[in-house]
A and B are shown apart, each in its own frame.
Chain A
Amino acid sequence: MVSRRWFSIVAVICALSFMSAGCKHRSPDGGDSLDPNMIGGGEGTEALGERTDLGTKIEGLNFSNVLFDYDSFQVSEGEFAKIDEVANYMKSNDSVLLVTEGNCDERGSREYNMSLGEHRALAVRAHLVSLGIKGTRIQTKSYGEEYPANAGHDESAWAQNRRVEFALYKP
């Protein structure tokens, strides 16, 4: 009787552990990260607004690209300041529109990299929305691996190519 009760307790603990594991996201680099640390890309993310006429691209702005790990769309904490800077600019210029442009390095499937690049663009957009920028002001675009910033074929070049660029427009 005792052993049956113990068996039940162990079974419940195992089930809860399993359910808990199911709530985690296994990050692209292989580690586990809890959902609250994730930025963008989830089902709860708001739908993209209708495309609007962007107007004229603002030249001369030099916002730093947001960089990503290999096969990852997670925005690391070290990149937050770059997004904050864009958010502050948009708050000070409330008619400005933005396109977050997602890119990948040359490794991997070209077609999958189209989705991964879009996921990166969406992740940065979600961060901007969490900082108070209206989603209707931000559109996303993926270039996949088609337009590298650095044409090299080593880790240094790839690191520069796994990026989201900021393209700002004035209607």
Chain B
Amino acid sequence: MKRRMIRACCEWRKPGKAMFSAILAGFMAVGAGFIAYGQDVTIVKAGGGKLSIDISGFKGGGGKKDTFCSVLASDLKRSGYFDVVQQQGKAVIVADGECDEGSDSFSVECETRNGVTSKRYFNKDFSEKGQNAAARVAHAVADEIVWAVKNVKGIASTKIAMIGSKGRVKDLYVSDIDGGNLTRVTQDGMAYPAPSWGGSQDVLFYTSRHGGFPDIYSIDLHTKNRRSFSSYPGLNAGADVSVDGRKMALTLSKDGNPELYIMDLSSKRLTRVTRTEYAAEASPSWSPDGGRIVFVSDKSGSPQLYIMSSSGGEQKFVSSRGSENVAPDWGPSGRIAWSSKRGARYEICVWDPSTGQNVQITAGDADYEDPSWAPDGRHIACSRTVGYTSDIYILDTMGDAPIRLTRVQGDWYSPCWSP
């Protein structure tokens, strides 16, 4: 297995099959239940196949229909569950319908069915107005198809927040998951790492030295209205909102040491949940049920992962291999992704607390950091650093090849996938 991993590293320069194989290997091992905690994975079998889907039957809609079909095809491929075919009668799934185009709008009545059994999944109207209306309709249709056919939350309509850095100017950005519509959210150049969505696609929390010190701000993405949210003395960082949107975990040093706190978002009442002498905590992330948090502490002498109840109490050491284990993200499927220093490189690893299965999913000549789960529980956004330049990549835990998200000059890091 060692030899296999090394070979995969060397082959990263030829992206595609080599990297695909390396990642596929790791995740197929998980799927087959053959991984021992803290050990290299063993390749057991190939992953699940994709369903063929025919989307060539959409009619009407003028020029915007082409945009709609193009975006829909990309979205369905990116979901990881479909192969898009252009030949009628050759696909297991068929999606078609009637498009209608206005000067400022686009709509489609879409039916999706099984081409073999004729089972109808849905027949539904989708409509959008304004800029990129056809693309937004396509995203909505793609997510509906993924949900109807695979019973998985789609990601086509989701967004990714990230920090973009040009020299000492660092701002908060948001893009679609294909890298399009990259929007600069802040303009003061003072954003710190690790933005966090506030339970919806409307609000982001992030740390900035806008007021002179590292404070947590919230920003409404529609109005761009920014509010100071946490400005205690010292450090205010690491905001992470629970899945139910009612609580925030964060790192504060107001009591003389960087510690973790839980804030009730309605009352802003704080509860301190760590009391670690001579240690710093960081990077809290909520479990899907809100009962626990995974976080980083250096109390053992190096930054490692721990899990504790969100009300405090015993801290369970969960890191395995790696001289440093940092930046955990507890995903919707219950698995935790994090960045582990293995040798000289940071790699993305995934651990399932319910089974103990632990897999390294990257094996290239780059540093992979700051993983953030997609709502589908399958894809992960992360930063990939080569030659001191970082970009955001999308990894597929089921084995599809990584996709580079950012193609604009600068350093891009700290991705955070929206709900």
A19 interface residue, CB < 8 Å from B? no
- Give 1 or 0 for each of A124-164: 1 = CB within 8 Å of chain B CB: 00000000000000011111101100000100000000000
Q: Knowing A28-B298, A48-B253, A119-B258 are in contact, say whether A111-B233 is a contact too (CB < 8 A).
A: no
In the complex, B364 has a CB within 8 A of chain A: no
Task: Please name all residues of chain A whose beta carbon is closer than 8 Å to the beta carbon of B192 when the two chains form the complex.
Answer: 114, 144, 146
Interface string of A44-65 (1 = CB under 8 A from B): 1111111100100000000000
Q: Which residues of B contact A78 (CB under 8 A)?
A: none
Cβ contacts under 8 Å, A111 to chain B? 193-194, 237-238, 282-283, 296, 326-327, 370, 414
A50 and B278 contact, CB distance less than 8 A: no
B244 sits at the interface (CB 8 A): no
| Segment 100-130 of A: residues with Cβ below 8 Å from B | 106, 108-112, 114-116, 118-119, 122
CA distance A49 to B256 in the complex (A): 9
Q: A8 an interface residue at 8 Å Cβ cutoff?
A: no
Q: Kindly state the separation between the CA atoms of A73 and B370 in the bound complex, as whole angstroms.
A: 23
Q: Which of A27, A73, A116, A139 meets B213, CB within 8 Å?
A: A139
Report yes or no: B235 in contact with A142, Cβ–Cβ below 8 A. Answer: yes
- Does B158 touch A at the CB level, under 8 Å? no
Smallest CB-CB separation from B284: which chain A residue? A111
- Chain B 196-220, CB-CB to A under 8 Å as 1, else 0, gives 0000000000010100111000000
Binds A, one of B26-34, B299-307, B402-410: B299-307
B302–A115 contact, CB under 8 A?
Answer: no
CB distance from A33 to the nearest CB of B (A): 9
Q: A122: which of B234, B238, B281 is its contact (CB, 8 Å)? A: B234
For the complex, what is the distance from the CA of A140 to the CA of B251, rounded to whole Å? 14
A82 within 8 A of B: no
The interface residues of chain B lying within 8 Å CB-to-CB of A51 are 213, 231, 233
* Residue in chain B with minimal CB distance to A49: B233
Find the A residue at minimum CB distance from B388. A153
A38 at the interface (CB under 8 A from B): yes
Bound-state CA distance A118–B233 (Å) is 11
Contact B233 A108 (CB under 8 A): no
What residue in chain B is nearest A140 (Cβ atoms)? B234
Q: A43-B277, A111-B193 are in contact. Are A140 and B253 (CB under 8 A)?
A: yes
Please tell me the number of chain A residues within 8 Å of chain B, measured between CB atoms.
43
Query: Is residue B64 within 8 Å, beta carbon to beta carbon, of the partner chain?
Result: no
B383-419 vs A: 1/0 string, CB under 8 Å? Answer: 0000010000000000000000000000001100000
Instruction: Determine if A45 and B256 form an interchain contact, defined as CB atoms under 8 angstroms apart.
Output: yes
User: Are the CB atoms of A48 and B214 closer together than 8 Å?
Assistant: no
Name the B residues within 8 Å of A49 (CB-CB): 233
Beta-carbon contact of A48 and B369 below 8 Å: no
Flag whether A171 is at the interface (Cβ < 8 A). no
**B168: interface (CB < 8 Å):** yes
Assess whether B275 is interfacial by the CB under 8 Å rule.
yes
**Alpha-carbon distance A51/B211, docked complex (angstroms):** 11
Contact between A110 and B388, CB atoms less than 8 A apart: no
Is the C-beta of B308 less than 8 angstroms from some C-beta in chain A?
Answer: no
Please tell me if the beta carbons of B370 and A109 are within 8 angstroms of each other in the complex: yes
- What are the residues of chain B within 8 A of A170 when measuring CB–CB? none
Closest-CB distance, B373 to chain A (whole angstroms): 16
Q: Choose among A28, A41, A146, A147 the residue that contacts B257 (Cβ–Cβ < 8 A).
A: A41
Q: Find out whether the CB atom of A108 lies under 8 angstroms from the CB atom of B193.
A: no
Residue ID in chain A nearest B215 by CB atoms: A51
Contact of B301 among A28, A43, A109, A115 (CB under 8 A): A28
Pair A42/B257 contact, Cβ less than 8 Å: yes
Residues of B within 8 A of A29 (CB): 301
Are A115 and B233 interface neighbours, CB within 8 A? no
Q: Whole-angstrom distance between the alpha carbons of A35 and B278 in the complex?
A: 9
Query: How far apart are B79's CB and chain A's nearest CB, in angstroms?
Result: 29
Query: Chain B residues with Cβ under 8 A from A139's Cβ?
Result: 213, 233-234
Q: Enumerate chain A interface residues (CB-CB to B < 8 A).
A: 25-30, 35, 38, 41-51, 54, 71, 73, 106, 108-112, 114-116, 118-119, 122, 139-144, 146-147, 153
A-B contact pairs, 22 of them (CB 8 A): A25-B277, A29-B301, A30-B301, A41-B278, A48-B233, A108-B324, A109-B369, A110-B193, A111-B194, A111-B326, A112-B280, A112-B326, A114-B235, A114-B251, A115-B251, A118-B253, A118-B280, A122-B234, A141-B209, A141-B212, A141-B214, A147-B168
Task: Please list the residues of chain B having a beta carbon within 8 angstroms of any beta carbon in chain A.
Answer: 168, 170, 192-194, 207, 209, 212-214, 231-235, 237-238, 251, 253-258, 275-283, 296, 298, 300-303, 324, 326-327, 339, 369-370, 388, 413-414
Question: 9 closest A-B pairs (Cβ-Cβ)?
Answer: A45-B256, A109-B326, A48-B233, A110-B193, A115-B280, A115-B282, A118-B235, A115-B258, A26-B301
